[in-house]
Structure 1
Amino acid sequence: MKANFEDLCVKDKILVSLKRLLNEWNQELDDVTEAEKRTAKGKSMVATFKQCARYLNPLFKFRRKKVLPDNIRQALLLVVECYLKRNYLAGMNHYIKMAIGNAPWPIGVTMVGIHECSACEKIYTNNVAHVMNDRQLASICNQSKD
């Protein structure tokens, strides 16, 4: 974490940025008094931090094992770059595009008559519009749990 950020490879930039963010967040929580941590708001802040750290552990394991897929790595790099530029709105948009994508979602009634509308066939295409809908990633996740 002491190396020049620009000299790091893409994988290390993601790892260092997220670890730095977690460390800063942890330091902020350490500065909070014990009385404030016992309040409902304080308990919620601590619980949110612990949950976030726990949810990021698989990502750090993927990085250490060098099995992080390229599409996820590139999407995370976009999010991290936006975060470093303090462009949080663009970072959030990149994250949402990575997580849920822009594929049409079958919400509500899809077939109301005899004929199917032209938009209905787009709903059932096999094109993956986001990186989280990946069978290879699911198999890697299942292997890491064992």
Structure 2
Amino acid sequence: MRPNALGKTLAGLVAIAGLATGSVATAGVSYAAPVGTSRNAAVAQPAVASTTQNFGLTTAEAKNVQRFLAQYWGYSDSIDGQMGTNSWKAMQRFLSGIWGYTGAIDGDPGTNTVKALQRMLAAHWGYTGPIDGVAGSGTKAAFKRFADA
């Protein structure tokens, strides 16, 4: 192989490996086309952040939670088993009413939302782990018990 072709091949393989693992950051640049050449370049698109966070619930379990939220906490979106932004906004309203959630009602189940959820799960659904805002296996198991009730 010519040195220029070898460089292109290596750069292409590194880029493919980086894209295959989901990270453009790992796709290093080791070759630049000479000035004046025209090439069609592949453009990496940013990954769309997941707007659903079921914390281990099945679709049926998430539907149960959505029904609870619709009945008592103003959830008015579809009962589709996907705990998206509107589901979490309703959950945050529920958690702020009783379980010490003080953050924004923004539908983002972040650390403060999970801490309040853990307090609720510890009081009634067998959660025995730390109130740390991390939705680990204990939090997920207790959330399943809540959803199945």
Same fold per TM (> 0.5)? no
Name the structure with the higher helix share. 1
Which TM-score applies when normalising by structure 2? Answer: 0.27
Which TM-score applies when normalising by structure 1? Answer: 0.27
Compare CA radii of gyration and give the structure with the larger one. Answer: 2
Kindly indicate whether structure 1 or structure 2 has the higher relative contact order, using CA contacts under 8 Å at least 6 residues apart.
1
